[in-house]
Amino acid sequence: MSGNVVVQYKGFFDYSLLNKLLMDFMKYVEKNNIDNYIFKKIQIVMAEVLENNYQYTNLIEDELKHENFEPEFKILISNPHFKVIASNPILTNDANHLKAYIDKINNFSREDLKTIYKDTLKEGMYIKNANSGTGLVRIAKVSKNKINYSFRKINNKLLYYTIETLVTPK
Amino acid sequence: MENLFIEPTEFSPKIIFDVKDRKFELVGISRPEDVIAFYESIIYKVENYINRMMNEHKDFNGFKFHLKFDLSYMNSASSKYILQILDHFKQLFKNGAEVNVDWYYDDIDDQIFEDGEDLSDVIKIPFNLVPRK
């Protein structure tokens, strides 16, 4: 899907930037009378994608010092659909696990997604980190669409990972 | 034991934990910058309260506690900590207390409605799913 850019940012993200991008999107929604139903869905997908993005890049900060591949985020609209696209460098060693996990999510039925979401929440309830481990499952569950992804080689250690999620109206 | 009140911010919820009136409320948006730091003190307070109640009460017959969750948005990290809060209150529920959980939502298609169903299933406490007026 091609479309018009609604929100776009290139560079490393953090919490305050995520808030700013959410605000930018909210302004767009208000100005263009976008339905609240689709706004809420995009808000969830956007926040989960960007939180994953900056939490992961913070973890591998040292590996990225001499690289020029910055994360990127955009929302496109092709009426009435929206597409949320986010990219960031990832360690080559993490790619196979991530790919397998997204493939698994993409093959789940809606009921399977609900079950795996609840199981992951239950298993992760007392694990000592900030994440619940449900980010990607929640994105698939909320968007009700498959998650598209790609990996492009940066060097032997790093790949440029892109995730695309279509958010459709009722 | 003192009550707990936390003012809401643009991205973190209002918290009211009233030990005298036996009510706990979490209202607003839950996407705090440091989710662990935000929820840690709340969970600590809830855990202490529950432990105290368990020591003080042999019989929870007639003991009522009311929880209200009125969220317009929560991120997945928050759901983990909300579950921990509920897990502590579950001890009262398992011991025969009447624990009422009101979970507010805007629309049946709203993700918050589904979040309420999911969290209730995970924690195995029935929620009253309440449409927001």
A120: in domain: no
Q: What share of chain B is helix, strand, coil (3-state, %, to 5)?
A: 40, 30, 30
Q: List residues bridging with B95 in a β-sheet.
A: none
* Segment A63-100, tens digit of pLDDT: 887 777 899 999 999 888 999 999 999 999 999 999 99
C-beta separation of A145 from A78 below 8 A: no
* Segment A7-55, tens digit of pLDDT: 999 998 888 999 999 999 999 999 999 988 899 999 999 999 999 898 8
A106: in domain: no
Query: Averaged over A113-127, what is the pLDDT?
Result: 91
Beta-strand pair A147-153/A158-167? antiparallel
Domain that holds residue A159: 4-95+145-167
Interface of A with B (CB under 8 A): 15, 19, 36-37, 40-41, 43-44, 47-48, 51, 114, 117-118, 121-122, 124-126, 130-132, 134-135, 138, 141-142, 170
Element (H, E) at A69: none
Starting at the edge strand found earlier in the chain, the sheet holding A147-153 runs A4-10, A72-78, A81-91, A158-167, A147-153
* Segment B48-70, tens digit of pLDDT: 999 999 999 989 999 999 999 99
Distance from CA of A13 to the nearest CA of B (A): 13
A133: in domain: no
A115: in domain: no
Higher-confidence residue: A106 or A127? A106
Give the residue extent of every domain in chain B. Answer: 4-131
CB atoms within 10 A of CB A163: 21
Q: How far apart are CA A33 and CA B53, in angstroms?
A: 50
Class of domain B4-131: alpha beta
Higher-confidence residue: A61 or B27? B27
